[in-house]
Amino acid sequence: MMKRHDVLTEYQAKCLSIATDTLLSPKQKANFLALEAENNIPYLALSEPLKTALDTRVICDMYEGHAPYKPRYVLPDYERFLQLGSAYLELSPAEDFDDALNHLMILYHHVPSVTGFPVFLGYLDRLLMPYVANYTEEQLYPKLKRFWVMLDRTLPDAFMHANIGPEDNIICRLILRIDAELKQVAPNLTFVYHPQRTPESLFLQAIENICECSKPHIANDIIHSAAFDEKGYGIVSCYNSLPIAGGGSTLVRINLREVALRSENSTDFLTVQLKKYCDLQMELIEKRTAFLYEESNFFQTSFLVHEGLIAPERFAPMFGIYGLAEAVNILMEKEGTTNLYAPDSPALPLAYQISEQLANFVESTPVKYGFNHKAMLHAQSGISSDSETTPGARIPYGEEPYPVSHIMTVAPHHQYYVSGISDILTIDETIKQNPQALLQLCKGAFSHGMREFTANVANNDLVRVTGYMVRLSDIEKFKTEGSRNNTTWLGDEATKNCKIQSRQQRVISHEQSMRYTQ
């Protein structure tokens, strides 16, 4: 290393290590250096109890940065943008299909998020169908395929998320076809399902895609729509459901395992400790959103606001939790029992009570800056540095039961987590010969109240980690070559820390799934 006159400070040494890293691209180095600069700003003033909770990781700020100068997740009204154009971007309204694709790609580069990349690409079939005109499938296919490749190559971030469905149309089917062919990490994809609006053949195509590339994620439109207004919702990043023309202002989360460790028993947990840390988490939400709304000047200066593509009042702070399984197991042990968070366990009523109590707290606690002046409860799906905890309300990795029991165990939680809750079923690859069984399993899950359905198919190269996609082959290459995709390193870290490779692959037969839905 070249000699320098002055001894480096810890901050300078960290920046230099990023600048000289052999696995990062220049763009990736710029992103990490920017984060270091932001985190060199002193943290917001916090109460001592909250500061202690953050320092001991009972509460986690998701490493969003010390000065939240942009919302975590932004969901623009892309339909309005295509119809009206943009004065800021000097774009007139889109006139044809090529215009629409070009306009979207331009705007995507100006939509901020916690990652620096857009996390919501819109309901692409709804956005593009008005511009299809007389194009045939053969003419649309290469245009959409080039668009899909361009998304992955120019916005290489697995938290970028597109939505399609629930109606049948040529764009929806082509996107599914292209996604199965390319098997790209980005964009992530959610298919929105509605039993009265989604034909069986389209639903089956989405299920066959899961067998092929572990995408798309399936969202239960009936349950999601009931939680939002007429403007609607989008599924973004890792299963986060948020208002369109708004988004998520911030996401902070409570480690329920740590709360349980600080509790004498389940009564103390429910009546004293959980309320204490919920109050502290709300304090953090208020501090972070106050800076965003009152000091960062984002909402005062963004052209997205000025042109009506987003509205400040449509952003919700996300009140996250994780480690529910460990919390229940610890509390059961403190009660002197060996019951665990598992199917048909006497411990399950406590788990559901915790979720209900959290939902009641969030619903009854107003916030200054929030969607309808409220935060939204979220079962957070984990980050790569997590250890000794299970994401959200999931069953611990390696302990997953067979799919029907799995779903019946976790489904009762879904009613409470309005801004997203997920589970990942790992299905044996024999499902590829019988996708109807997976279709019936998904229908059964939705009939039992699940908001979202996600499956990894064993031995696919493209898999979900906590919620984002990664190619196992990319993780292997990353160790020596780095990766052009910004999230490969997270998948590598999650593989080491989060036991994602311990997920149990399960067989589901058509007969089992049919009995389940009857």
User: What is the 3 state secondary structure string of 366-399?
Assistant: EEEEEECCECEEEECCCCCCCCCCCCCCCCCCCC
The pLDDT assigned to 87 comes to: 98
- Length of the chain equals 518
| Distance (Å, whole) CA 58 – CA 50 | 9
The tens digit of pLDDT for each residue in 460-474 reads 888 888 778 888 888
Q: Assign 3-class secondary structure to 407-441.
A: HHHHHHHHHHCCCCCCCCEEECHHHHHCHHHHHHH
Tell me the three state secondary structure of residue 312.
helix
| Distance (Å) of CA 450 to CA 187, 303, 417, 421 | 24, 37, 10, 9
> Which is nearest to 172 in space by CA: 198, 133, 135, 138?
198
| Contact present, 498 and 396 (Cβ < 8 Å) | no
Which pLDDT score, from 0 to 100, does residue 514 have?
Answer: 57
**Which residues of the chain are under the pLDDT cut of 70?**
1-2, 489, 498-501, 509-518
At residue 122, the 3 state secondary structure works out as strand
For the segment 193-206, what is each residue's pLDDT rounded down to a tens digit?
999 999 999 999 99
pLDDT at position 515, please?
56
Return the pLDDT at 239.
85
Q: Is the dihedral of CA 478, 161, 221, 321 positive or negative?
A: positive
- The pLDDT, as a whole number, for residue 490 is 74
Alpha-carbon torsion 490, 493, 499, 504, what sign?
positive
Rounded to whole angstroms, the Cα distance separating 454 from 457 reads: 10
Dihedral-angle region of residue 199 (phi above 0 means left; psi in -120 to 50 means alpha; beta otherwise): beta
**Tokens 């959610």 -> residue:** 190
331 token code pair? 């509390």
CA-based nearest residue to 82, from 141, 122, 28: 122
268 conformational bin, left if phi > 0, alpha if psi -120 to 50, beta if neither: alpha
pLDDT at 13: 93
What's the pLDDT score for residue 80?
98
**pLDDT number for residue 295:** 98
pLDDT tens digits for range 72-101: 999 999 999 999 999 999 999 999 999 999
Burial of 262 (0-12, 13-18, 19+ CB in 10 A): middle
The pLDDT score that the predictor gives to residue 195 is 98
Please tell me the number of Cα atoms within 13 Å of 236 on its side-chain side: 27
User: Measuring CA to CA, how many Å separate 453 from each of 181, 233, 338, 444?
Assistant: 22, 17, 30, 10
Instruction: Indicate the pTM of the whole model.
Output: 0.95
C-alpha to C-alpha distance for 264 and 361, rounded to whole angstroms: 21
pLDDT of residue 2: 64
Q: What is the pLDDT of residue 89?
A: 98
End-to-end Cα separation, the chain, in angstroms: 68
Query: What are the strands, taking DSSP E only, across 237-386?
Result: 240-243, 246-255, 315-322, 366-371, 374, 376-379
Please give the backbone phi and psi of residue 498, each rounded to the nearest 5 degrees, phi first: -105, 5
**Residue 467, pLDDT score:** 78
Q: Measuring CA to CA, which residue among 115, 130, 179, 127 is closest to residue 152? A: 179
Residue tagged 């620096």 (tokens):
116
The span from the CA of 363 to the CA of 345, in Å, is: 28
The reported pLDDT for the residue numbered 481 is: 79
